[in-house]
Structure 1
């Protein structure tokens, strides 16, 4: 009899352990979404030359340095210097999509009134049409679209 009453007492107590309130799934989702920093990515976009770096900040710096150098190199041989000799820096908006496609656009700047933005954008588009592939950024393991504005210095010959 004592064993039966102990068993019954154990069952009653153990059932109360499992009788905890389960949080609502929408509430859990909202809590998780609030924890995520949406203004930063877990992994920055990258190129083959920077893949070997382990440090996140070093890889980011390598990527931006590589991008600046490649763009400078590709547009330095074009007619931008001949058409607009006073331009020393161009603001280029770079958009990297999850499917590894990349778009380069010229952004307006304070001295953009001195030159034809559409003409320069056309030169940049044609110069960068065969740009090396860029590995997109990722957030929580999912490839995401990123955009940034990169100041590109026009090297004088």
Structure 2
């Protein structure tokens, strides 16, 4: 009788293990979809950077350094240029900055309707002054370079702003 109990026990074990094996394994498409849904596509792992900010202590410090570098560099190139002379009524202009995954940086002025009559002129001046912009390393998402874009307020006439 002892052998029968062992056989029943083995049969029970075999049936239970077959049920474990028979469970559905998710397909690669389901796993990929689940992983893609878990990624926050609105944030990057690492912000774009420039070599001047490489020594910053942490991610947030590098981000602050990058935006300060970008703003100062753009302002220096535009503040004493034709924009301040031709358009003295503008002391600040919004510039959309696009850092592509291949490190190419694009600048697009964001103009209000009241100055849209000068859009082509302003855009051509900005493109000419920022054509040789320093190298910017792209943002990273999961270790891969990605395109990022943001808008910066750029002060065109610093002296005018200081006198206020």
Query: TM-score, normalization: structure 1?
Result: 0.85
- 1:13-67 CA-partner distances (Å, limit 9, x unpaired): 6565544321122221111111111111111101111112232222111111110
Q: Does 1:35 align with 2:33?
A: no
Q: Does 1:77 align with 2:49?
A: no
1:58 is aligned, of 57, 61, 71, to 61
Question: Any unmatched runs of 5+ in structure 2?
Answer: 160-164
Query: TM-score, normalization: structure 2?
Result: 0.82
Residues 49, 111 of structure 1: alpha-carbon distance in 2 compared, 3 angstrom cutoff: farther
Tell me if structure 1 keeps the 8 A contact 2:103–2:138: yes
Tell me if structure 2 keeps the 8 A contact 1:91–1:109: no
What's the counterpart of residue 90 of structure 1? Answer: 93
What's the counterpart of residue 149 of structure 1? Answer: 151
Looking at secondary structure, tell me which structure has more helix per residue.
Answer: 2
Q: Does 1:44 align with 2:47?
A: yes
**RMSD value, Cα:** 2.3
SS at match of 2:98: strand
What's the counterpart of residue 134 of structure 1? Answer: 136
Larger Rg: 2
What's the counterpart of residue 71 of structure 2? Answer: 68
Q: Does 1:121 align with 2:108?
A: no
- 1:41-99 CA-partner distances (Å, limit 9, x unpaired): 11110111111223222211111111000000111231111111111101111111111
Shift of residue 11, structure 1, vs aligned partner: 8.1
Tell me if structure 2 keeps the 8 A contact 1:93–1:104: yes
SS at match of 1:133: coil
**How far apart are the structure 1 equivalents of 2:62 and 2:114?**
32
SS at match of 1:49: helix
**How far apart are the structure 2 equivalents of 1:19 and 1:134?**
53
